[in-house]
Chains A and B, each alone.
Chain A
Amino acid sequence: MHGERVVITGMGAISPFGQGVHCMLDGVRNNRCALTPLPKYCLEGVACQVAGIVPPLQQKCIPRELRRCMSPMSVFACLAAWEALEQSGLGRTPERRMGVAAGSTLGSPAMLHNFFEAFLAERSVESIRSTTFFKIMGHTVAANIALACACTGRTLAPAAACASGLVAISLGYETIASGREQLMLCGGADEFHLLVAATFDRLGAASHECVPELASRPFDTERSGVVCGEGAGILLLESLTSARERGANILGEVCGAAMVTSARNIANPDTAAIVDCMRTALDDADIRPGEVAYINAHATATEAGDIAEGQAIATLFGAHTPVSSIKGHMGHTMAASGALESILCVEMLRQSVYFPTRALRNPDTRCGGLRHLTAIEHAKQGPILKNSFALGGCNCVVLFDTYKP
């Protein structure tokens, strides 16, 4: 896309590894697994045994008047956004116009559950807290970030399920590149709820493995499905002009993006659409496939998804470009995943390493004979391609590179 160059000047993460980008980075770099057995109260009615749950956080650092409208997903997003803004040097509430693009799979399912539990028992809304709706509404994450960070620009709240986080980055990139905003807080957040895990289970796509370290194994013949998780990833995207003017530390550049819809089936991954999406993103960035140095796959460890994506990657890149998925480290953090994994992509560029697919021992050859990373590898120069896909036919690809003046 021609227009303003778009750079990244701040990043924040709440992940199953804990609070902060450093915490997630340390876990992934050391090839640890952040998955844990599900609490017993979550197990009723589903076969899932393991999840990527965020450890307890110090929520009270968020003032009550903000926190009262936040379910866990917004708490995660708020803390991640503040981390990104502090890293950027702008502080938690910059005194300048800033927009937000942040999505979640749903509004808080737990709060929706609570609402109907109370309403159906009493046939009255008299006991419903005034703030309940603000936790349920579709743009709860974006609205809460806007409030916590004093955003006065546009509020965008893409709802593209598992691709929401990367779609938000893509929207932020387009918004800045077109000159509509100078600063955009972008990403996604989700909180674990049985509704999502049970849905994957009903679709036959959820892992039933009870050993956390073996529960999420993208691309492996022994994989058993997706492991649901939670978290938030937020990146501060900024026009290069703005970043230069204020002397910001530039962490990386967004050099291209694309969104492509598969109109064939609401649930099935679509190799042709994925190929189209990656090709469109490469065209947007004016990059040829051979120039891509590494691919961070969506790969959630479902059979259909891994095969469709693997074959799409093989179609465009052959066995030339190294590929890995982070889902083995912390499961599928849903709307947060595209953003958390984008943060890791930027860190891989900064640290000149590529992280492997954890617990990948026997690559499934039906995934297209890719060049899988099974151990940490020194990076070569070149852009990183990041994939995210979602139920509903949503496909999104974003390209990141080291900022070069």
Chain B
Amino acid sequence: MDNDTIVTKVNAALAEEFELEQAALVPDAKIRDDLGLDSLDIVDMVIVLEKAFDFKLQNKESLAAIRTLGDIYTFIGELRDAGTIR
């Protein structure tokens, strides 16, 4: 899976779940401040990403450093590189 595919799939999953405008889905967008997601949404964000990329997040603490949409792309890319997702 290349990086563009990751971006497309992440954006599609979050846009559908949280009814976000595509224009708002830029790498610098802060998940809480710019996209307006709160702690409940973050729980659901993990569920939709797990479903979109068919994996189970074993270490929830690894999410702690995620602040922006770009951080999510990087995080998914790292899971791909580690062989967790294909």
A131 to B18 CA separation, bound complex (whole angstroms): 13
- Is the pair B18, A64 in contact by a Cβ cutoff of 8 Å? yes
Please name the residue on chain A nearest to B43 by beta carbon: A130
A131 to B40 CA separation, bound complex (whole angstroms): 7
B43 contacts which chain A residues (CB < 8 A)? 129-130
* A130 contact from B36, B44, B51, Cβ within 8 A: B44
A126 to B51 CA separation, bound complex (whole angstroms): 11
Please name the residue on chain A nearest to B19 by beta carbon: A64
User: B61-85: which have CB < 8 Å to A?
Assistant: none
Q: Does B56 sit within 8 A of A, measured CB to CB?
A: yes
Interface size on A, as a range, is under 10
Please name the residue on chain B nearest to A131 by beta carbon: B40
- Is the pair B40, A127 in contact by a Cβ cutoff of 8 Å? no
Q: Does A350 sit within 8 A of B, measured CB to CB?
A: no
A127 to B47 CA separation, bound complex (whole angstroms): 6
Shortest Cβ distance from residue A14 to the other chain B in the assembled complex, whole angstroms: 22
A68 contacts which chain B residues (CB < 8 A)? 40-41
Q: Does A65 sit within 8 A of B, measured CB to CB?
A: yes
Q: Residue-by-residue, is A107-140 near B (CB-CB < 8 Å gives 1, otherwise 0)?
A: 0000000000000000000110111000000000
- Is the pair A126, B56 in contact by a Cβ cutoff of 8 Å? yes
A23 to B38 CA separation, bound complex (whole angstroms): 37
- Is the pair B18, A129 in contact by a Cβ cutoff of 8 Å? no
A58 to B73 CA separation, bound complex (whole angstroms): 34
- Is the pair A65, B44 in contact by a Cβ cutoff of 8 Å? no
Shortest Cβ distance from residue A304 to the other chain B in the assembled complex, whole angstroms: 45
- Is the pair A129, B56 in contact by a Cβ cutoff of 8 Å? no
User: B11-29: which have CB < 8 Å to A?
Assistant: 18-19
User: B30-67: which have CB < 8 Å to A?
Assistant: 36, 38, 40-41, 43-44, 47, 50-51, 56
- Is the pair A65, B36 in contact by a Cβ cutoff of 8 Å? yes
Main secondary structure of the interface of A (DSSP, over half): loop
A129 contacts which chain B residues (CB < 8 A)? 43-44, 47
Shortest Cβ distance from residue A97 to the other chain B in the assembled complex, whole angstroms: 25
B41 contacts which chain A residues (CB < 8 A)? 68, 130
A131 contacts which chain B residues (CB < 8 A)? 40, 44
Please name the residue on chain A nearest to B45 by beta carbon: A130
A65 contacts which chain B residues (CB < 8 A)? 36, 38
B56 contacts which chain A residues (CB < 8 A)? 126
- Is the pair A130, B19 in contact by a Cβ cutoff of 8 Å? no
B51 contacts which chain A residues (CB < 8 A)? 127
Please name the residue on chain B nearest to A63 by beta carbon: B19
User: A126-185: which have CB < 8 Å to B?
Assistant: 126-127, 129-131
Please name the residue on chain A nearest to B46 by beta carbon: A126
A127 to B52 CA separation, bound complex (whole angstroms): 13
A127 to B57 CA separation, bound complex (whole angstroms): 11
B19 contacts which chain A residues (CB < 8 A)? 64
A130 to B37 CA separation, bound complex (whole angstroms): 13
A33 to B56 CA separation, bound complex (whole angstroms): 51
- Is the pair B40, A130 in contact by a Cβ cutoff of 8 Å? yes
Shortest Cβ distance from residue A129 to the other chain B in the assembled complex, whole angstroms: 5
Please name the residue on chain A nearest to B48 by beta carbon: A129
Shortest Cβ distance from residue B69 to the other chain A in the assembled complex, whole angstroms: 18
Please name the residue on chain A nearest to B56 by beta carbon: A126
B38 contacts which chain A residues (CB < 8 A)? 65
A126 contacts which chain B residues (CB < 8 A)? 47, 50, 56
Please name the residue on chain B nearest to A127 by beta carbon: B47
Shortest Cβ distance from residue B61 to the other chain A in the assembled complex, whole angstroms: 16
A64 contacts which chain B residues (CB < 8 A)? 18-19
Shortest Cβ distance from residue B7 to the other chain A in the assembled complex, whole angstroms: 23
User: A83-124: which have CB < 8 Å to B?
Assistant: none
A131 to B44 CA separation, bound complex (whole angstroms): 9
Q: Chain A: residues with CB nearer than 8 A to chain B?
A: 64-65, 68, 126-127, 129-131
- Extra A-B contacts (17), CB below 8 Å, given A68-B40, A129-B43, A130-B44: A64-B18, A64-B19, A65-B36, A65-B38, A68-B41, A126-B47, A126-B50, A126-B56, A127-B47, A127-B51, A129-B44, A129-B47, A130-B40, A130-B41, A130-B43, A131-B40, A131-B44
Subset of 20 A-B contacts with CB under 8 Å: A64-B18, A64-B19, A65-B36, A65-B38, A68-B40, A68-B41, A126-B47, A126-B50, A126-B56, A127-B47, A127-B51, A129-B43, A129-B44, A129-B47, A130-B40, A130-B41, A130-B43, A130-B44, A131-B40, A131-B44
Can you list the 4 inter-chain pairs with the closest CB atoms, starting with the nearest? Answer: A130-B43, A130-B40, A64-B19, A130-B44
